[in-house]
Structure 1
């Protein structure tokens, strides 16, 4: 039985309203930029990014655009056509990281082939070169330091490099959720950290932030990552502990369920994360509150942890939550 089946004690029958992963996270501006990127229209993509003043927002948009298949080709041309511009170089570096992970796949290290490792390393090396160039040209920009955290983890550059890059990002934007997410990944046991380090970081960052901060999502992410690392049986026993449930409630009330919480760019990601966490924890009523806010906006992460088809995982958990939540 799949992880999803173990979670609910049965297999999903599917069906129901049509659902699909939304690569734009419900953001219509991003959806337009993704269409232009898919068409290779760099001038239009540049115009859209230039119009975004907030550094965190622009970083998030670039991270999503970096997933555009085939964009590495026209980005190379854009970099060559604008050798003195940092923006095409930034997007090209971000794309190299995404492209590297496409070669590596999401498999555990022991299941990645030699040729995959070689391509992965070559693309990460190119990303490092481009992103450091951007950081030197534009020392105030947040984005290169955000992406350099991901390349450092992939290239196994070690804890000192990872910490330096995280701190560099926070000097430019102390409340940046994306950088905190990357730091939490770095502290996961699967990346050489430990459950203790990961939970301590998540809880400390959450409690240090003002109420309504999006950083509360870190607590939910940490518990999901801990759950994922455990064997069948141990995983459910862990995530349904009262202490874990209490921490999830505390984090949700300080973030996504707090009146001061602002739904910024990519907010459905946090709601999907908490919805999955509460579903795993056997708290369908609270999960239902989050599902109702989401509507049909499904994000691939973290649902892909539950099933090869994230839409099926979302649908199954949402149905169970709706039955309990009324």
Structure 2
């Protein structure tokens, strides 16, 4: 697929972008996918108004910080009118690698919402990957798509493609854990489930200062999500032994101690991991430690600690969080 194809073969039903200056509805909750990245939030707002130059500058400054680049491109790609505005960018700069990557992930987001044909999104990602062979971001887009729609061998192959370019890619590991946790959803609690082995192995091979050290907590949480949805665990997480058993105590203690000793303030997705830990502390009944973590998270504290903003399987967490913070 050429840049011309990217510009001319898009879906015919895409609505035109809104006029500049049109007000946009506020989110129904406080969660912001941009997390604490103020530059990203500003670029997203500008893109929504058709000013793609701000996104262009942001991605140029990001360079090969692959975790941050993946996070920024993913958040920008969720903007409703990212596809038409990015096509405008490509018309102005047909050789722009950043524009091609952003357009590819925007088409992935549309495909996941059922507004784009998956083969078209796949073609866009492969075209972007050909333009930027060292960039894991187009492969991250493919992994997002196949994690939801693809067969297991293809999901594992795409994860390997991401790791071949950046072995410690944070978001890719989150996606794999979420996918693996869904295996054998009807079998009930299984302390030897493969998602735990995957998380432990990834955390052990990661550098000492890597946020991947918290992956065992993510695996524990994602597996609970699946078990609760299947009716094997109560949806009130605080009432479940899943969070207070021997394995849970070991996982939470190791991850919490790691965060206390070292916290990578600049990591684009660190607040997601802090939310995992904070909610785990609530479920363990260790409210003081949870409150300390929520205080550190600040305005981004959210009842949904999962990898994706639409995941909140435990409405009781809202009450538990307020109790931990003394605001109930």
**CA 1:46/1:186 → structure 2, altered by over 3 Å: closer, same or farther?**
same
1:290 alignment partner, one of 287, 290, 293: 293
RMSD: 2.9
2:78 alignment partner, one of 53, 59, 67: 67
Aligned length: 285
Q: Distance in 1 between matches of 2:275 and 2:225?
A: 16
Structure 1 residue 130 displacement after superposition: 0.7
Q: Distance in 1 between matches of 2:163 and 2:246?
A: 33
- Aligned residue in 2 for 1:48: 58
Within the alignment, does 1:21 sit opposite 2:31 as a pair? yes
2:153 alignment partner, one of 154, 157, 160: 160
Secondary structure at the residue paired with 2:80? coil
Within the alignment, does 1:247 sit opposite 2:241 as a pair? no
**CA 1:265/1:193 → structure 2, altered by over 3 Å: closer, same or farther?**
farther
Structure 1 residue 201 displacement after superposition: 0.6
Structure 1 residue 262 displacement after superposition: 4.5
**CA 1:306/1:135 → structure 2, altered by over 3 Å: closer, same or farther?**
closer
Q: Distance in 1 between matches of 2:260 and 2:126?
A: 38
Q: Distance in 2 between matches of 1:153 and 1:46?
A: 28
Q: Distance in 1 between matches of 2:159 and 2:167?
A: 10
2:113 alignment partner, one of 77, 82, 102: 102
Q: Distance in 1 between matches of 2:176 and 2:33?
A: 23
1:33 alignment partner, one of 43, 53, 60: 43
In the TM superposition, what are the counterparts of 1:133-212 in structure 2 within 5 Å?
A: 133-156=127-150, 158-189=151-182, 196-212=193-209
- Aligned residue in 1 for 2:126: 132
Secondary structure at the residue paired with 2:299? coil
Q: Which runs of 5+ in 2 are unaligned?
A: 1-28
- Aligned residue in 1 for 2:20: none
- Aligned residue in 2 for 1:271: 274
Structure 1 residue 261 displacement after superposition: 4.0
Structure 1 residue 102 displacement after superposition: 2.9
2:83–2:107: 8 Å Cα contact kept in structure 1?
yes
**CA 1:43/1:260 → structure 2, altered by over 3 Å: closer, same or farther?**
closer
- Aligned residue in 2 for 1:10: none
1:62–1:91: 8 Å Cα contact kept in structure 2?
yes
In terms of fraction of residues, the more helix-rich structure is: 1
Alpha-carbon displacement from aligned partner over 1:152-208 (angstroms, at most 9, x marks no partner): 22231x222222211121121112111111221221225989961111111111122
**CA 1:285/1:270 → structure 2, altered by over 3 Å: closer, same or farther?**
same
Structure 1 residue 149 displacement after superposition: 0.9
Structure 1 residue 253 displacement after superposition: 2.2
Structure 1 residue 315 displacement after superposition: 4.8
Secondary structure at the residue paired with 2:261? coil
Q: Distance in 1 between matches of 2:219 and 2:210?
A: 17
Alpha-carbon displacement from aligned partner over 1:125-148 (angstroms, at most 9, x marks no partner): 222101111111211112111111
Q: Distance in 1 between matches of 2:137 and 2:318?
A: 34
